[in-house]
Every structure is written in C-alpha cells, then in structure tokens.
Amino acid sequence: MLNMNNISRIYQSDTIQTHALRDFSLRVNEGEFVAVTGPSGSGKSTFLNVAGLLDNFDRGQYELDGVSVQGLKDDELSRLRNEKIGFIFQNYNLIPDYSIFDNVDMPLRYRGFSASERKRRVEQALEKVGLASRFKYLPSQLSGGQQQRVAIARALAGEPKILLADEPTGNLDSLMARQVMEILHNLNNDGATIIMVTHDPDQAREVNRNVQVIDGQLADFKIYAPLGRSSEVKSKTISEAASAAVAEEVENA
Amino acid sequence: MPNDSMFFYNLTLAMQSFKRAPTLYFLIILTLSIGVGVMCANLALVNSMASDPIPEKSANLFHINMNTWPDDQPPDEPMHILRYRDAMAVTKSNLTKGSAVFYASGVYARDAESSSMKRFDSEVRATTPGFFELTNAPFAYGSAFENSTGMEIVIGDELNQKIFAGKNSVGKTLELDGELLTIVGVLKPWLLRPLFYHPTEGRAFNLTDDIFAPLETAIDLGWSIHARSSSAVNYTGIEETRDKDVYYLQAWVELADINQKPALQSYLDNYSQQLKDAGEHPLAIKNELHNVNEWLKVNKVVDQKVLAFTLASVLFLSVCIFNASSLLLSRFHAAKFEVGLRRAIGASNRHMLVQGLTESVLLGFFTGVVALVLSWLFLKLSVQFLPRLANIAVLEPKLLVLGMLLALVTSIASALYPIYRANCYSISAELK
Ligand SMILES: Nc1ncnc2c1ncn2[C@@H]1O[C@H](COP(=O)(O)OP(=O)(O)OP(=O)(O)O)[C@@H](O)[C@H]1O
Ligand SMILES: [Mg+2]
C-alpha cells in the first residue's frame, strides 16, 4: 500500500539544516493499522506529512498504492490526496463557520460528484462516526471528541485507500479518545489501512504494528497483533522481530 | 456538470469570504471604485472630446480654408471663414458630391398660431440645403428645404419639444424675429460630440442648432452673424455682404472618393490664382482642406488639461490598486489556514487559483457597479463647477462597459500578488 525507500527530508533555514527524516524506509501493507511513536521532534509528523503528500521530500522513493509519487505535478498530487488519502489532524481543522455537513462535504467538492452523490457519501461517513443527526450543527456546538469524529468523517467521505492520523486523540480526554480509537479500529476491521502517530503507549500496543521513529529514522518494529503471513512472529523478542521485519522489507523490495 | 458546480461553489465561497470580513471588503470596494470612478469620469470627458462624431464619412468631409484677403494685413494665413463669392465658387465645383455653406445666427421664435407671446431664444444655422445630407442630419418628420431661398425652415428636436411638445410640426408656421417661416422638416434628437461642423470659437461642445434656415433667406432678412467674421470694408447689414469683402461663411464639401482631394485642392488654388492674377489679393496661394478629424485637431478640441488629468487619474488608480492589494494581502494571510486545509484534502493549486480569481471577479463586479455610480456623481459634480462641460460629461454605454472592465481588471490586478502569496505556503505549515 505504502512503500518508502530511503526518504530524506531536510528543512533548510538561514542558519541551520534540520534532517527531519534521514534515509527513512517503511512499508505498510493493505489493511494494516500501524502506530508511529517516538520522542518529540523525532520526525513523526514529517513522515506523516510526506506520506500524505502534504510535504515534499528531498531524496528517496515513495510509492503509494502502486503510484510512484516523485516527479508528479501539483494537480496529480492533489488528485492522489483527494482520492487515496484521508488525513486526520490533532486539531481537527474543521472550518468553524461551516456546518458539519459542509465540512465533511469539502473534499468531495473537488471530485466533481453530483449533489446527490455527495449527500449520500456525507451521510454515510457521518453514520460511521455516529454523528448522522448532527449534520446541521456548527463545529463549536460539538465536543472535542465529536469534532474529531467529524474530521474522521471528512477523511472517510472520499473513500480513501489509507487514513493518516497525526495524534488524533492528542487533544481529547481518555473517554473521548477511547471513542475515537474504537472508530479507527472498526474502520480497520472493515479493511482500512491506517497509520497513526501517537504518544500513548496503550494505543500503540493495541494495533497491528508499532514503529518507532528516533532522530528521523525508523528505530524499531514491535508487532503486537500480527497480520496475514507475518502471523507466526507473534512472540518474538524485539531484535528478532526487527530482523524479521527487515527480512520482510528486503523480500518485498 | 462538475465544472458548473465548481463555479457556483466558488461563488458561494466568495460570498462567504465577503461575509467573514465585511468591513475589509467594503474598504477594498470603496478604494477601488473611487479610483475606477475617477478614471471612468475622466475617460468620459476624453471620449466625448476625442471621438469621431461622424465616423461613416469623417474622412470624406473637408472643411475649406482660403487665402483671399485683399491686402497683406492680417498676415498671410488662410482663414476658416470665407467671402460670399468665394464660398459660392466652392459650391460650384463639380468635383464634390455635396457641399454646405453656412453661418451661425440667432432669432427669437414663437408659434405663429399660438395665443402665447412667449418667444424662444434660438440658435440658427443659415445654410445651403446640402448641409443636411452632408452632415447626415436625422429627420423625424418632413425633409430638408430644397433651395437656399424661400420661407422654409427645418427645426431641431429640442425646439420642437419646447414649442410643439414633440409632435409632428411640419406645415406649422413659426414667427422668427417678426417673419413667418414654414416648417418643412423636424429633426430627431441630434447629438454631435464634438460639433464637428462648427468647432471654432470654442463651440465644439455646443448642441446642434435649433433652426436651420435657407442661407439666402437669412441674408435677405438681415439675420446677424453670431460667430467670427472679418471685413476689409464697412457695411451696415448682412444683406449687403454678398459682393463685399466680408468674411463670415464656413464651407464644407463631401468627396465621394478621397483620391479627388488633390483635384479639389488645385481647383481652389486655380481660383485663388485667378483672383491674384486679376490683382484682387497679393497673398501666396494657400488653401487648406481638413477632413473632420483633422479639423477637430486643428481646433484643439481635446483639452490638454483633461489629458493631464487623465495621467493623474491613472496614477491615482494605481495607488488605489496598491492599497486594495495590501488590504487583500491581510485578508489572504488570514485565510492561510483554509488554503492549507483545502490543499490537504485535495484541492490543487489551480483550484485555489480559480477560487481566488472567482472571488476577485465578483469583487470587481461590485466595484464596477459602485464605480459607475461614483463616476456619474463625479461628472454631475464637475458640471456644477464647470457648466461648459455639460454636453461632454456624459457616460455613454460603451463607457459603462469600459468602467466595468476596468473594475474587473483592477480587482484582479490587486488580487494577483495576494493570491500568489497565499499559495506559496507549504500545505502542512498551517495544519497541526
Ligand atoms: N517547517 C519546518 N521548518 C523547519 N524545521 C522543521 C519544520 N517542521 C519540522 N521541523 C523540524 O523537523 C524535526 C521533526 O519535526 P516533527 O514535527 O516531524 O517532529 P514530531 O516527531 O512530529 O514531534 P512531536 O511529537 O513534537 O509532534 C524537528 O526538529 C523540527 O524542529
Ligand atoms: Mg508531530
């Protein structure tokens, strides 16, 4: 689904160069739920932004759903973002004076769908996050957890191949965080591929795979609930799991 | 149609944007429309001054200047006013398709059958009958008089409105300074901007005349000359001028083919040469033919002050654009988050550009409406101060269109840099 090879992202300012990602390689299979953890400033958001085509990279290869993204033009990248990727932000990023409906409808506007098709998809997406009855509300009339669920509905409305979430529960109390996590797990059970940045070790533990980013590089693999052919690696030590994953990486390359 | 719906979506977004910052957009519209309004008012003046009043034949109509003054004072320059016999010689040329010889006069007019004694101060054009065809004068009723003699007249729309309430007055009789003349034709409203057939003596923006009377009749009735005249001799009334050295008639000719101009020129030059050979004048042979636009130029119909003001209003408009641009910059800066978000969920740079342009086109439309109202007010106001602008300070339909286009262009121009800046930010910068 997602295949990154030796990606580097360097932020250049007047005086300093920050290597936010250095030779970063990761492969995520279809249907996987991957948690990305790591210290603050290690490059998690940078990785997610590059994965979501919100940011470009300086070196390396990146293939998304079989499409090699380097060298694509702006409108091609935009179409990929619109059709294949659903992004969920820590701050929800809803437009405050738009109704819930209009917020969820937004990505569909750039798709050329008919009004009835858009309505069907918005309703379906709001249904999935349990907010179908609130479509006329403004974001400010909802709780933080509900707002994040609206943001998830917005990400789902375009029926993307992959959901990218940057600390989706970072602003929520544990009860609301739970609800959001349940929705993500349900989506994953229905077949969605999800990559989520999180600081919560419990959340990281309950997904298929936890990767750790340290200093712009992938540090470690922890596989908790194996998927598909990697099912026999259930109880390996960390180093064994890591080498197995590397082997898998090589095999897939 | 996806494109249609995108267009309407962008329109809604633009309206939303206006609603979010109404004061700011009000200021932008005001700034731009004052600039466009001033510009447009000024262009209205220039347009009236510089336009061709008779485009269908302006190249074929020639005003005649001749050099037949009997001594060398005033100096050796051809004059725009001719002697009766010189003017008649011009009309006798068989090179021309038509000609008009006239002078300006004035009478008091009243309906001869009316019980009211009210008289209207009326401008008179005493002319040969060729005038109407040469100037394409538009007839509402009746037709031109056919001879330079006879007690017949053609009247203009304004006088017909005043005396006969605009009804068909052909056959009615007017009393003009005590003489009875019959109306044979009534003109439609007739605006010539500039008044090409008589732009001299600062009359380029006068209205067309109230009464058109046969030349010989006017001379016989002694209707005085209301324009420039020069005479080398003493005379008591215009009725004596036919064989005297009194210069007061203007002459126009129409050529079917402008290639005949050299032939006409030599016809005039031969005529002058004959006079000179007969010892009637000592001057160099120097006759001039100016077509309509040349004649307007010679008479400096386009006011240099107005042109200087045009330059000033161009500068003023650019200041307005810079101002609006900086206001829009702050607006687009505030909208960075939304731009980032829209890009993140799949809007391309082109989508955002079209959205920004749609907004500025809508802004330009509102600006255009306000600007046209303002420029109408500016023109009204300028007529208050300078009444002589009354017939020039008009917004023709083409100026309404021009004003609208100008508003759209300025609005887009002031949005270009802000739109460019708004789309420069990296998508992820505003999104956490
Ligand atoms: N736009 C930018 N310009 C310059 N440096 C940047 C920019 N964005 C991120 N960085 C730097 O890149 C590095 C990685 O940042 P990133 O946001 O990916 O970290 P993170 O792992 O998401 O941290 P956190 O857990 O705090 O969100 C940091 O050192 C950061 O300072
Ligand atoms: Mg981060």
Instruction: Report the alpha-carbon distance of residue B103 to residue B249 in Å, rounded.
Output: 5
Q: Inspect the interface and report whether the beta carbons of B348 and A89 lie closer than 8 Å.
A: no
Q: What is the mean pLDDT of chain B?
A: 89
Q: Inspect the interface and report whether the beta carbons of A110 and B348 lie closer than 8 Å.
A: yes
Predicted confidence (pLDDT) per residue in B57-80, tens digit? 999 999 999 988 887 676 567 889
Residue corresponding to tokens 């402008």: B258
Joined tokens for residue A119: 């309505």
Q: What angle do CA B358, B360, B364 make, to 5 degrees?
A: 115
Cis omega before residue B194 (within 30°)? yes
Q: What is the pLDDT of residue B292?
A: 93
> Which residue does chain A place closest to B428, by CA atoms?
A54
Predicted confidence (pLDDT) per residue in B349-393, tens digit? 888 889 989 999 999 999 999 999 999 999 899 888 877 777 778
Residues ≥6 apart with Cβ < 8 Å to A153: A104, A122, A125, A126, A128, A129, A131
**pTM flag (> 0.90):** no
Q: What is the pLDDT of residue A201?
A: 86
Q: Inspect the interface and report whether the beta carbons of B344 and A54 lie closer than 8 Å.
A: yes
Residue B22 — very low, low, confident or very high, per pLDDT cuts 50/70/90? very high
Residue corresponding to tokens 């059709």: A83
Specify the amino acid at residue B210: D
Predicted confidence (pLDDT) per residue in A50-77, tens digit? 998 888 888 889 998 888 988 888 889 8
Mean pLDDT along residues A167-186: 87
Q: What is the pLDDT of residue B120?
A: 93
Question: Is the predicted pLDDT of residue B250 greater than 90, yes or no?
Answer: yes
Least confident of A210-214, B182-186, B213-217: A210-214
B360 CA: distance to closest CA in chain A (Å): 20
Question: Is the predicted pLDDT of residue B54 greater than 60, yes or no?
Answer: yes
Residue A45 Cα to ligand 2 middle (Å): 4
Q: What angle do CA B106, B130, B285 make, to 5 degrees?
A: 90
Least confident of A31-40, A96-105, A239-248: A239-248
Least confident of A92-101, B340-349, B420-429: B420-429
Q: What is the mean pLDDT of chain A?
A: 83
Least confident of A133-142, B75-84, B189-198: B75-84
**Nearest residue CA, atom 14 of ligand 1?**
A43
Q: What is the pLDDT of residue B4?
A: 63
- For B383, half-sphere exposure in the C-beta direction (CA atoms, 13 angstrom radius) is 14
Mean pLDDT along residues A142-152: 88
Beta-bridge mates of residue A3: A27, A63
Which domains, and CATH codes, for chain A? 30-53+74-246 (3.40.50.300)
Instruction: Report the alpha-carbon distance of residue B159 to residue B115 in Å, rounded.
Output: 18
> Which range, A241-245, B205-209, B332-336, is most confident?
B205-209
Question: Is the predicted pLDDT of residue A145 greater than 90, yes or no?
Answer: no
Specify the amino acid at residue A148: Q
B420 CA: distance to closest CA in chain A (Å): 15
Q: What is the pLDDT of residue B133?
A: 94
Window B:336-365, CB contacts with A under 8 Å: 337-338, 341-351
Spell out which chain A residues touch chain B, with contact meaning CB-CB distance below 8 angstroms.
45, 49, 52, 54-55, 74-75, 77-79, 81-83, 87, 89-91, 93, 95, 97, 106-107, 109-113, 115, 154, 158, 166
Residue B101 — very low, low, confident or very high, per pLDDT cuts 50/70/90? very high
Q: Inspect the interface and report whether the beta carbons of A95 and B341 lie closer than 8 Å.
A: yes
Q: What is the pLDDT of residue A245?
A: 38
Residue A218 — very low, low, confident or very high, per pLDDT cuts 50/70/90? confident
Predicted confidence (pLDDT) per residue in B142-156, tens digit? 999 999 999 999 999
Q: What is the pLDDT of residue B77?
A: 76
Q: Inspect the interface and report whether the beta carbons of A78 and B349 lie closer than 8 Å.
A: yes
Joined tokens for residue B120: 């209207």
Question: Is the predicted pLDDT of residue A227 greater than 80, yes or no?
Answer: no
Residue A220 — very low, low, confident or very high, per pLDDT cuts 50/70/90? low
Mean pLDDT along residues B327-341: 86
Q: What is the pLDDT of residue A222?
A: 54
> Which range, A215-224, B207-216, B237-246, is most confident?
B207-216
Instruction: Write down the ipTM of this complex.
Output: 0.83
Q: What is the pLDDT of residue A247?
A: 41
Joined tokens for residue A124: 């379906």
Q: Please give the share of chain A, as a percent, with pLDDT higher than 90.
A: 23
Question: Is the predicted pLDDT of residue B1 greater than 70, yes or no?
Answer: no
Q: What share of chain B is helix, strand, coil (3-state, %, to 5)?
A: 50, 15, 30
Do residues B332 and B417 lie in contact, with contact meaning Cβ atoms separated by under 8 Å? no
**Nearest residue CA, atom 28 of ligand 1?**
A41
